[in-house]
Amino acid sequence: MTALAPPIDTDVTTPAESILVGATTSTGPGVGVRPEPLRLGGLTVDPAVVLAPMAGITNPAFRTLCREFGAGLYVCEMITTRALVERNEKTLQMVRATPEEKSAFSVQLYGVDPATVGRAVEMLVDEGVAGTRPAHIDLNFGCPVPKVTRKGGGAALPWRRRLFADIVRSAVRAAGDVPVTVKTRVGIDADHVTYLEAGRTAQDEGAAAITLHGRTADQLYSGTADWSHIARLVEAVDIPVLGNGDIWEADDALRMVAQTGCAGVVIGRGCLGRPWLFGDLATAFAGKPSRALPTLREVAAVMQRHATLLSEEQGELHGCTDFRKHVAWYLKGFSVGSDIRRALAMVSGLDELAGLLAGIPDQPYPTAVLGAPRGRTSTPRPVALPEGWLADRDDPRPPAGAELDVSGG
């Protein structure tokens, strides 16, 4: 089973086709370094590129858009296992595949109770609750946001090593022949580092691969990701290690592979407003120097395509409303008046969007923003944890009340 992009309709010029055909040459350090295809059980990911789950971002519309630009594995938004087990309506809507994902549907699960995580995996694998049996399941042990860590979840959970092992084991056993992977961070903070032990434990419990974001939870998205931890994890385990953190351009991915020996990369904030990054990654991993530098007119076509996909999924008003948060990312660095930016950030219809975009003069891609951070930034802050969480690393019990939220997501 191979995760590949669907063929582009040759009778219709899509935004992806237009941008990738017109890509310019922009080489950087590490060109020529190409990891082997990533093999996760019966699933082959070639090139070894994975879209990171992002709440409110990696819905079916965004996954479809990214897939049109390049091959890889595109993971849905993080799914709460308790909400899935309770068959929360919103969650059941989120955990569904697009037609193009039928052969490589990928789900990320979040949970703090081994029994609930196992039951959620069983529902996905045995009952087909999503309408499509997933080809891959990822477990989230990397989320640093307070509403997750204060329940002992996300990046806080690997500190409780027995609980971590029990969750991974439960998921792997329930998944059968579906590969289970783990995503984590370096640790809670510099005094509570967990990634090496978590990597070995995940391997021992049958995980097919592990992704490491090169920051601690208290760093959130501040500073610079430390890729040296990725290199250390590669040396410590035998399963594939995927690198995550500060991949803003395709050449960053090449540098990460060259510096760390990781088996592939996971792309998060770097693709916000730049889904053509997946095309750049495909060409970079193939050893080719071409990189996309789309003009504003080409970017506008991608924006219209994105809003159209969201509208088909959610209805025009809700789709365009959802699209608003993407506007600033797409237009970053372009010379666009504040009045137009405000109007685009309040758009409520596809024709309105098309009219506003048509009124902006075309211009070259702003190369000054290449390599610059995108998406959310933050300052470091102490991690919110359940009371007494750090006291006993071998306590296997989930934190009290952590599984009570069934609101979905």
Q: Any bridge partners for residue 74, and if so which?
A: 51
Residues counted in the chain:
409
Q: Which residues of 360-386 are buried (b: 16+ CB within 10 A; e: fewer)?
A: beeeebeeeebeeebeeeeeeeebbbb
Per DSSP bridges, beta strands 290-291 and 24-25 are antiparallel
Pairwise CA distance, residues 106 & 41, whole Å: 13
What phi and psi values does residue 141 have, to the nearest 5 degrees? -125, 30
DSSP structure class, residue 159:
G
For every residue of 13-28, which 3-state class applies, written as one string? CCHHHHHHHCCEECCC
Residues 6+ apart with CB under 8 A from 191: none
Annotated active-site positions, please?
A: 143
DSSP structure class, residue 245:
S
Pairwise CA distance, residues 347 & 320, whole Å: 6
Pairwise CA distance, residues 1 & 49, whole Å: 16
- State the virtual CA torsion across 209, 196, 223, 58 in degrees, nearest 10: 20
Helix ranges (DSSP H) in 176-295: 195-204, 228-236, 250-260, 277-285
User: What is the Cα Rg of the chain in Å?
Assistant: 21
- Residue 336 token pair: 């666009």
